[in-house]
Amino acid sequence: MKDILKKIWSYTWKIAIWFFIISIGSVLFFRWVPIPITPLSLIRCVEQKVDGKQMKLKKNWVPLKEISNNLQLAVVCSEDQNFINHRGFDFEAINKALKYNKKHKKQRGASTISQQTAKNVFLWPGHSWIRKGVEVYFVFLIETFWSKERIMEVYLNVIEMGDGIYGAQAASKTFFNKDAKNLTKSEASLIAAVLPNPIKFSAAKPSPYVHVREAWILNQMANWGGELSYEEEEEE
């Protein structure tokens, strides 16, 4: 029995070591290298094939400087207004969500842009405690080894923005027939408005609900008082 336990412990220890080596190595590698594909986009392709639909996967990686600051500000205002200042988790937003969820059937999330980036790049969709625990680990890694600009760059290049559409450039071309660097505030807010459910909602054919969110995001952008600035906000 002792020999069996020793073998189990030895294998577990080796697996843990290799996990840390591979995970840290991957985060360091993708600090500079574009993300080729994500687990979610692969899952969506399989779902399309199973449903008898044509597989769609539109994506086109562009550097952050080629993505309109309007879109960068729009996603911060809609998804994570403390993005510049927090270290991966917005505990104030988490506490508010917990209090809200205790009183309402419709649950409210509090995932930050860093959490969504870690989940999209390194993990699989789901809500299990194991996946959440691994997500915390990867959020810590990207917040340690990546800059806020890099997190935003990766986020805006891999996030699902429509049916088979991933990233700002593909969404801009598909919905507005223009490059992501030329998005107006209204166009950027429409893209940001559908992020909670880009399969159900469309920036090209916005529903009344999407228009309501668009107006709210535009108002938040106006209250921000200017462009999204990473260096200045971090110094404050």
Among candidate residues 160, 187, 168, 186, the one with its CA nearest the CA of residue 176: 187
Residue 16 lies in a domain: no
> Tell me, what CATH number does 129's domain have?
1.10.3810.10
Residue 24 lies in a domain: no
- Split into its structural domains, the chain has a count of 1
Lowest mean pLDDT among 52-66, 88-102, 139-153, 203-217: 88-102
**Which three-class secondary structure state does DSSP give residue 88?**
coil
Tell me phi and psi for residue 161, to 5 degrees.
-120, 5
pLDDT at residue 97 above 70? no
Residue 149 lies in a domain: yes
Which whole number is the average pLDDT over 158-183? Answer: 95
**Which three-class secondary structure state does DSSP give residue 10?**
helix
**How high is the pLDDT of residue 90?**
78
**How high is the pLDDT of residue 226?**
80
How is 107-127 classified by DSSP, letter by letter? ------HHHHHHHHHH--S--
Residue 29 lies in a domain: no
Residue in the structure block whose two tokens are 């194991």: 130
Cα–Cα dist 184/200, whole Å: 23
Percent of the chain with pLDDT over 70: 91
Residue 111 lies in a domain: yes
Q: How confident is the model at residue 60 (pLDDT cuts 50, 70, 90)?
A: very high
Q: Does residue 21 or residue 56 have the better pLDDT?
A: 21
Residue 11 lies in a domain: no
Residue 235 lies in a domain: no
Kindly report, residue by residue over 6-43, the tens digit of the pLDDT: 778 778 888 989 999 999 999 999 999 999 999 999 99
**Is residue 161 within 8 Å of 181, Cβ to Cβ?**
no
Residue 127 lies in a domain: yes
Q: Bridge partners of 58?
A: 165
Q: How confident is the model at residue 109 (pLDDT cuts 50, 70, 90)?
A: low
**How high is the pLDDT of residue 236?**
39
Q: Where are the beta strands (DSSP E) in 39-186?
A: 58-59, 160-162, 165-166
Among candidate residues 144, 143, 68, the one with its CA nearest the CA of residue 113: 143
Q: Output the pTM of the full model.
A: 0.89
Q: Please count the helices (runs of H) and the strands (runs of E) in the chain.
A: 11, 3
Domain that holds residue 70: 35-226
